[in-house]
Structure 1
Amino acid sequence: MTQRGRRTVRDLRRGNRSALLRHLYFEGPLSRQELAGHTGLSSGSVSNVVGDLIGDGVVEEAGSVESDGGRPRVLLQVARRNGYLIGVDVGETRVRVALFDLALTELATADHPLSDSGHDVGQVVSLVLKGLTAVVREAGIDQAAVVGVGVGVPGIVEQGDDGPVVHGQTIGWDAVPLGALLRDGTSMPLHVDNGAKTLGQAEMWFGAGRGARNAVIALLGSGVGACVVADGKPYRGATSSAGEWGHTTLRVGGRRCRCGARGCLEAYVGAEALVERWGGAPEGASEEAAIAALLRAADEDDASARALLDETAEYLGAGISDLVNLFNPELIVLSGWTGLMIGPRLLPAVREATAAYSLRHPWDRASVELGRLGPDAVTVGAATLPLARFLDAGGAGAHGRDRVAGTTDFEPAS
């Protein structure tokens, strides 16, 4: 009974630390009095917990503000250099690694294009590990100060006995034990999740989705994915594969998709598909350069480019209407590098097509917006995986190897 009581006290203390830390992180700087009002904790509890957080170097003073008739109130904030976060985007054409402080200020990056061997597992693991070493060296920090590494990957991520396992049908990965392979090359704590889901967490915490409780964050890159958020939490399904929006059927018997099926949405609106369908890109151009050329051609009144973009807007609207009718979101965010390139031009037509294909009642209460975190938001999102662990642990004991992706509530403050 005594041992059980000690566990309960410890858990309560960690819960209080986590609650205060989350409020300071997402809403700070705040005073002790404001923290008590936000969390419902007594002023004594707040003072004790804040004292511990300051003593541990997790929280620091950030000036003061005048109070009504009393002494100035000291403001508190999370100490941004108390630790560091690394985000990794295993994309379709490159591996990008970025190191951030706790405020998600980018301090160092490493970009490695994928060679002709594509997503050869050994090559990807090697590039990730090479990138980790490079950003730590560039930032000039001790590796022990890294709270954790988040990795966003294409495909379905499930938790295996030895860590995260990736099923990436479009890149030829079948039950790849990515967690174990990376763990053999680094001692830094690892967290792995689907790239669209990491993007979704970033947009919900810091971008266009902030404040929404029911949303879909759509990633349009070389491929297409989505993160479905229901009542403030990510919806993952029975095997964490929910959100494979790109592989919903748009046209029966249609174009062959990279997954092997026919008529998938991705086979019509993903960057790889757009470049193939247009056929007018400069020889040897990257996908980004090809999409930029497509947009320029449309601006110059090229009939084939304009027709392709018009059709793409309708396809996107039809695909979004499926999300509206199935999940009843209040918000759909178009993000990913392709989405942000074509979105400003296509958004009005996409909204019009969505309205035409959706049921009126749920569409009347929904909106389609562009993401706000830029083309590298998957990297930022990946870094939120160890950040979530840091906040959940109250800034302490955040260096464990347990994977946190899939357990995080997307609501910034709890």
Structure 2
Amino acid sequence: MPDGSRRTVRDLRRGNRSALLRRLYFGGPLTRQELSRETGLSQASVSNVVAELLETGLITEAGSVESDGGRPRILLKTSPEHGHLVGVDVGETRVVVELFDLELTRLAKADLPLGDGGHDVGAVIEHILSGLESVIKESGVDPAEVIGVGVGVPGTVEHGPEAVVHGQTIGWDAVPLEKMLRAGTDLPLFVDNGATALGQAEMWFGAGRGHRNAVIALIGSGVGSCLVIDGTPYRGATGSAGEWGHTTARVGGALCRCGARGCLEAYVGAAALLERYRAAGGTTGHDEEDAVGRLLDDPAMPAAEIRAEIVAYLGAGIADLVNLFNPEKIIIGGWAGLLIGDRMLGRIREAAAQYALRQPFAQASIELCHLGPEAVAVGAATLPLAHLLDSGGAALVERASITT
């Protein structure tokens, strides 16, 4: 019987390309000698792989450094303008589509409100496709240079031959999102949970950089999280891990959008907060972000009581994360999470300390997301980027070999 686990020469070459490409992307510029030392590959292997990657245009020369008595050594780095990435955030009230270069510098953006139809699947698909067309046109980028489109969505993403989304809080039940999008675009698609996408971006470029174990909390209208264990997002058996907002904060408590009672989201999610604020006589208007800002700054007693509940429930929820996962960091992101954290992070830390076990809490830091309130779109763009790095630019290498 053939050994299905045996690696072919092609697999080894792809693995070597991936190792070098990752080193250059996150740590470049580097010389061939430094790449050999840091990856453990022979200098001959490094030279062969570098030649392949230079031919694709994914990496380029970036000057030189003096060597000890010999010829100057050439520095290599990834080429940010060679390919482009698109990140899509299917949010609570809008779809945001952004186009980036390979260094995740934003080149174009489309912000499309969902309107009264809410998360009607057809409307969301139309927004994604029209936003994609808009950012490509605005940037002047050749669609052939777009390496992939990442889509961050609320809910659980089932990764089979094509991504299927289960979004209980927005009324999506086994929505074949990838199949529906493929009817309107030929670009490679990568679909994942928005909090997971945000978490990957924060670990690579933000508050989690340099750490291996962290929880990234996404607090907007709803609440989610990304669990990163030993450097890898943990998805669970079927992709639903990280639904922190639907852990029980109070048995028999307030009704959550998911249909259960007492979920954490029903106490710290923006939609639930504003519902309580309106019931207490607060003025919320139509813009959720402005309304949450007013709630957090309102000196009246009803608003102060709601803020005290936010601190207590969020502190207890964070303590649960500390006790369950023993992370190095807990990173609070999302537009509502950043608004809350800017004003009350110290009080939230104190509340978490009251509920968490002392030793793991002492080892964990709690801080805010570094990538801003629109980090889900950036995170979504890391989905095709991760594929590019993991494959060692396989598609581009194969394309280069065909053209030559």
Distance 1:281 1:174 in 2: 34
Distance 1:283 1:38 in 2: 55
Equivalent pairs counted in the alignment come to 396
Calculate the aligned-residue CA RMSD, in Å. Answer: 2.1
- 1:327 and 2:321 are equivalent in the alignment: no
Is contact 1:219-1:334 (8 Å) kept?
A: yes
Is contact 1:225-1:246 (8 Å) kept?
A: yes
Q: Which residue of 2 aligns with 1:117?
A: 117
Deviation of the 1:398 alpha carbon: 6.4
Q: Which residue of 1 aligns with 2:49?
A: 49
SS in 2 for 1:397: helix
Q: Which stretch shows the higher mean deviation, 194-203 or 73-82?
A: 73-82
Distance 2:192 2:359 in 1: 34
Q: Which residue of 2 aligns with 1:133?
A: 133
Deviation of the 1:252 alpha carbon: 1.2
SS in 1 for 2:136: helix
Q: Which residue of 1 aligns with 2:167?
A: 168
Q: Which residue of 2 aligns with 1:384?
A: 382
Given residue 126 of structure 2, which amino acid in structure 1 is its aligned partner?
S
Distance 1:363 1:386 in 2: 35
Given residue 99 of structure 2, which amino acid in structure 1 is its aligned partner?
L
Q: Which stretch shows the higher mean deviation, 48-57 or 82-91?
A: 48-57
Is contact 1:189-1:399 (8 Å) kept?
A: no
Say if 1:398 and 1:217 are closer, same or farther in 2 by CA, change over 3 A.
farther
Q: Which residue of 2 aligns with 1:246?
A: 245
Distance 1:399 1:269 in 2: 47
Q: Which residue of 2 aligns with 1:80?
A: 80
Q: Which residue of 2 aligns with 1:67?
A: 67
Of residues 302, 306, 331, the one that matches 2:304 is 306
Distance 2:240 2:71 in 1: 54
Distance 1:275 1:93 in 2: 15
Q: Which stretch shows the higher mean deviation, 323-332 or 19-28?
A: 323-332
Distance 1:28 1:159 in 2: 32
Say if 1:233 and 1:7 are closer, same or farther in 2 by CA, change over 3 A.
closer
Q: Which residue of 2 aligns with 1:228?
A: 227
SS in 2 for 1:333: strand
Q: How does 1:395-410 map to 2 (within 5 A)?
A: 395-397=393-395
Q: Deviations over 1:246-305 (max 9, x none)?
A: 0011111111110011111001101111111122554533111101222332xxx33322
Gaps of 5+ in 1: 401-414
Distance 2:311 2:355 in 1: 12
Is contact 1:333-1:370 (8 Å) kept?
A: yes
Q: Which stretch shows the higher mean deviation, 72-81 or 164-173?
A: 72-81
Of residues 367, 370, 375, the one that matches 1:369 is 367
- What's the % identity of the aligned pairs? 67
Deviation of the 1:244 alpha carbon: 0.3
Q: How does 1:93-242 map to 2 (within 5 A)?
A: 93-161=93-161, 163-242=162-241
Given residue 322 of structure 1, which amino acid in structure 2 is its aligned partner?
D
Is contact 2:274-2:284 (8 Å) kept?
A: no
Is contact 1:389-1:398 (8 Å) kept?
A: no
Q: Deviations over 1:140-168 (max 9, x none)?
A: 0111111000000000000244x100000
Say if 1:61 and 1:290 are closer, same or farther in 2 by CA, change over 3 A.
same
Q: Which stretch shows the higher mean deviation, 275-284 or 311-320?
A: 275-284
Given residue 268 of structure 1, which amino acid in structure 2 is its aligned partner?
Y
SS in 2 for 1:50: helix
Say if 1:309 and 1:234 are closer, same or farther in 2 by CA, change over 3 A.
same
Distance 1:31 1:282 in 2: 60
Q: Which stretch shows the higher mean deviation, 273-282 or 389-398?
A: 273-282
Q: Which residue of 1 aligns with 2:345?
A: 347
Deviation of the 1:67 alpha carbon: 2.8
Q: Which residue of 2 aligns with 1:409?
A: none
Is contact 2:18-2:393 (8 Å) kept?
A: yes
Say if 1:38 and 1:325 are closer, same or farther in 2 by CA, change over 3 A.
same
Distance 2:160 2:390 in 1: 22
Deviation of the 1:96 alpha carbon: 0.2
Is contact 2:157-2:164 (8 Å) kept?
A: yes
Q: Which residue of 2 aligns with 1:358?
A: 356
Deviation of the 1:396 alpha carbon: 2.4
Is contact 1:84-1:100 (8 Å) kept?
A: yes
Q: Which residue of 2 aligns with 1:259?
A: 258
Distance 1:11 1:231 in 2: 24
SS in 1 for 2:64: strand
SS in 2 for 1:112: strand
Deviation of the 1:36 alpha carbon: 1.0
Given residue 8 of structure 1, which amino acid in structure 2 is its aligned partner?
T
SS in 2 for 1:256: coil
Q: Which residue of 1 aligns with 2:268?
A: 269
Is contact 2:56-2:396 (8 Å) kept?
A: no
Deviation of the 1:214 alpha carbon: 1.3
Q: Deviations over 1:104-127 (max 9, x none)?
A: 110000010011110000000000
Q: Which residue of 1 aligns with 2:13?
A: 13
Distance 1:274 1:103 in 2: 37
Q: Which residue of 2 aligns with 1:286?
A: 287
Distance 1:308 1:396 in 2: 52
Distance 1:90 1:191 in 2: 13
**TM-score for both structures, normalised by structure 2:** 0.94
